């Protein structure tokens, strides 16, 4: 892909992707729990080049996709430009009390008024991002 400044589309560096991930608090998680494709919004926080979020005890994510592949996306658009960042990785439920207690100190955003006692970490395997000028 042409990444010159004249190109309407530029690839983001991994560092730029992490900066953008750290600047958001809501993204969308895609899962294939039990063979069923799903997508839903989550609030998250970046911790040491991983994503940490809370979820409910009965969700498909916790029951079925832990240690399976997930994909996560953030984006932003305004009148002049836009960007998106996509992260592929493995979701891992935090099991030990010390892991959960440590995660709770990270300040995971709490926009959704639902019970979400479980803590999940997404360890990335691949991260990409694009910025583009609007046509």
The binding site for its own copies (CB under 8 A) comprises: 8-9, 26, 28, 30-32, 37-41, 69-73, 75, 77, 82, 84, 86, 88, 110-114, 132-135
Q: Compare residues 35 and 97 and give the one whose CB is closer to its own copies.
A: 35
Closest approach of Cβ 52 to its own copies, in Å?
18
Closest approach of Cβ 130 to its own copies, in Å?
9
Q: Compare residues 19 and 131 and give the one whose CB is closer to its own copies.
A: 131
Question: In sequence order, which residues have a C-beta less than 8 Å from that of residue 109 and are 6 or more positions away?
Answer: 25, 26, 43, 44, 45
- Token pair, residue 54, equals 């809370």
Distance between CA atoms of residues 71 and 91, nearest Å: 9
Q: Compare residues 28 and 92 and give the one whose CB is closer to its own copies.
A: 28
- Token pair, residue 62, equals 């916790």
Distance between CA atoms of residues 103 and 111, nearest Å: 17
């Amino acid at each position: 892909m042409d990444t010159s400044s004249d190109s309407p589309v530029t690839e983001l560096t991994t560092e730029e992707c992490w900066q953008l991930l750290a600047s958001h608090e809501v993204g969308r998680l895609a899962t294939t729990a039990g063979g069923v494709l799903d997508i839903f919004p989550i609030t998250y926080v970046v911790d040491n080049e991983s994503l940490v979020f809370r979820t409910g005890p009965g969700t498909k994510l916790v029951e079925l996709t832990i240690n399976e592949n997930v994909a996560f996306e953030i984006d932003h658009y305004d009148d002049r430009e836009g960007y998106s960042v996509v992260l592929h990785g493995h979701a891992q439920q935090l099991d030990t009390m010390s892991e959960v207690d440590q995660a709770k100190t990270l300040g995971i955003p709490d926009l959704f008024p639902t019970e979400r006692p479980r803590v999940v970490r997404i360890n990335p395997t691949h991260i990409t991002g694009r910025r583009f000028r609007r046509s």
